[in-house]
Structure formats: C-alpha cells, structure tokens
Amino acid sequence: MYMTIGNIPKDIRWKPSCCAQMLIAYIPVTKLKRIGSAATRCRMLNNLFHGCMQLLLGPIASHGFTGLPMMSGDRIWHRCHPILANFIGDYPEQVLVTCTYYGQCPKCEVPCYQLGEYGTFSARDNGNAYKAYGLADGDAHSFHAAYRDIGIKPVFHLFWTSLPLVNIYTSITLDILHQLLQGVMKHLIKWVLDPLIFRPQDINVQCHLIPPNHQVSLFPRGVMIYAQDLQIFYTHPQQTHPPQ
C-alpha cells in the first residue's frame, strides 16, 4: 500500500525517482485453502482486507476530525485535516474496496448487460452502504438482505465507514493502464494505422510539426508504432531503444 498527497505537481508525481509515493504497509496475502467453501473463503478474504485497511488508516480517521499541525512547502505551519481523497488501483482492487461484484461498475449502477452502451446512469449511493453496515452487529439475515438489496457484498468491517468526508464511489479513479491505454489507446492506434485512415509516415510528419510547448512531449524523430503487437515505442534523440 502506497500513500501520496494531493498537492504534489504532476511532473513530480509521475517520476519514480522523485519518490512522491511512500510505502506505508504490506497487505497480507493468503489463500485460506483450509476453508472448503469458496463463498465463505471469499467473504473472509474481503473482511481480512478491510480489517487491515481499517487498522492502517486509523490515524487518518482520528486526525481527520480533530486536525493536526503540518508544515507546508513554504515552512508555514497549518492546521490540517487529512482525509482519503482517491483510491488508485486496478479493477479487482476497485471491486474489493467498493464491495461490488466482479463484472459490475464500482462507481455507478449500470446493469452488466449495458456496460458497452453509451448512456447516463445514477451513481452508487454511499448512504445505502452506511445504512447496511449499521446492521452488522444485529441479525445476520437482515444484514445480508440489506447488502443484497443494494447489490454489494456483505462485509462487516468496511474501512472507509470510519473515515470523515469519504464517498468511496466517487474516490475511485480511472485505471490508466488497463482502461485507458489498453482499453482505448490501443484500439485508437489500430484504427489510425489503417491504410484508409492514416499511415505511420503521416503520423510522423504530424509529430514533426508540433511546436515546443510547456510539458508537452516532442518526438523530433517521429513515432514508430509496431502494429503487430500494438506496442508504442517512442524514439528519442538520445535513446534508440524502447523505454523499460
């Protein structure tokens, strides 16, 4: 589990050498193979993850309400209230955090059979999850029925229920690698490489015409795109091999 703060500039955040993300904990990994029931094993793994996160983010919960003094970059002390703003992870981690079922959207209530359609759907109600969580210490049947009605998994210790000013469904960010690069960019690149649309030579010419601008990547030697595996290799004047 890594943690960062929201006021770090993007040109620093995306450089691993700047160490903008701090490793704060390791989440235990176990398969619980001794448990025979697959459904029981899945529920225990979900509860284990949320229990670890609740223990890990406990200081944020207390300081979020009371506040604590922190020094800013200009060496001035401020009273700050840290909160959980965003959760960054791939789709399985998003499902684990939001307690939604695999194949569903972790942010809105779009039906599974309409995921590929262009439409507007209502966002998931964070208040319903809080109401269902309040039944955890009561009757087990009522607790599971409440979670089943709102379409999420029954978890007894949701870590984000104790955090102030948190709506976990709006805190989920895009999975840049799988959703944007592999889900959108590769199909877009395949389309522009079609001989009836554009060609790599035409794309290279357009790259040569891009004027210098602030924080815009320039490719003076063009962009070479290998369509056979849809891997993008950027050639740099001082770098002739693909970046690792």
pLDDT in tens, 4-43: 888 888 888 888 888 898 999 998 888 888 888 888 888 8
Residue 236 DSSP class: B
Cα dihedral value 150, 156, 162, 165, nearest 10:
-20
pLDDT in tens, 153-193: 888 888 998 899 899 999 998 888 777 777 787 788 778 77
**Contacts of residue 212, Cβ cutoff 8 Å, sequence gap at least 6:** 218
Supply the mean pLDDT for the chain.
Answer: 82
* Mean pLDDT value of segment 135-147: 84
Whether the per-residue pLDDT at 228 is higher than 50: the answer is no
* Mean pLDDT value of segment 129-149: 85
CA angle 107, 41, 137 (to 5 degrees): 70
In the numeric block, which tokens belong to residue 236?
């740099």
| Residue from 238, 209, 241 nearest 222 by CA | 209
Residue 97 dihedral angles phi and psi, to the nearest 5°: -75, -45
CB 83 within 8 A of CB 169: no
A 10 A CB-CB count for 120 gives 6
pTM for the whole structure:
0.74
